[in-house]
Amino acid sequence: EADIYQTPRYLVIGTGKKITLECSQTMGHDKMYWYQQDPGMELHLIHYSYGVNSTEKGDLSSESTVSRIRTEHFPLTLESARPSHTSQYLCASSATSGASYEQYFGPGTRLTVT
Amino acid sequence: KNQVEQSPQSLIILEGKNCTLQCNYTVSPFSNLRWYKQDTGRGPVSLTIMTFSENTKSNGRYTATLDADTKQSSLHITASQLSDSASYICVVSDRGSTLGRLYFGRGTQLTVWP
User: Which residue among A31, A102, A107 places its CB closest to the CB of B46?
Assistant: A102
The pLDDT-based confidence of B52 (bands split at 50, 70, 90) is confident
According to the model, what pLDDT value does residue A69 have?
A: 96
pLDDT(A8) > 90 = yes
Q: How deeply is A73 buried, as exposed, middle or buried, from its count of CB atoms within 10 A (0-12, 13-18, 19+)?
A: middle
According to the model, what pLDDT value does residue B2 have?
A: 66
Q: Does A45 sit within 8 Å of B107, measured CB to CB? A: no
Nearest-CA neighbor of A35 among A26, A25, A27, A45? A45
Q: Does B101 sit within 8 Å of A31, measured CB to CB? A: no
Each residue's pLDDT tens digit, A55-69: 999 888 888 999 999
Chain A residue at shortest CA distance from B105: A42
Nearest chain B Cα distance for residue A70, angstroms: 19
- Terminus-to-terminus CA distance in chain B, angstroms? 41
Q: Does A107 sit within 8 Å of B99, measured CB to CB? A: no
Nearest chain A Cα distance for residue B43, angstroms: 4
How many CB contacts within 8 angstroms connect chain A with chain B? 56
Q: pLDDT averaged over chain A?
A: 91
The pLDDT-based confidence of A97 (bands split at 50, 70, 90) is low
The pLDDT-based confidence of A101 (bands split at 50, 70, 90) is low
Mean pLDDT of A44-52: 93
Which residues neighbour A96 within 8 Å (Cβ) at sequence distance 6 or greater?
A29, A30, A31, A50, A51
Q: Does A105 sit within 8 Å of B100, measured CB to CB? A: no
Which residues neighbour A100 within 8 Å (Cβ) at sequence distance 6 or greater?
B32, B49, B51, B93, B100
Which residues neighbour B97 within 8 Å (Cβ) at sequence distance 6 or greater?
none
Each residue's pLDDT tens digit, B71-102: 999 999 999 999 999 999 999 988 765 556 78
Q: Does A106 sit within 8 Å of B41, measured CB to CB? A: no
SS3 A81: coil
Chain B neighbors of A3, CB-CB under 8 A: none
Q: Does B4 sit within 8 Å of A90, measured CB to CB? A: no
Q: Does A58 touch chain B (CB under 8 A)?
A: no
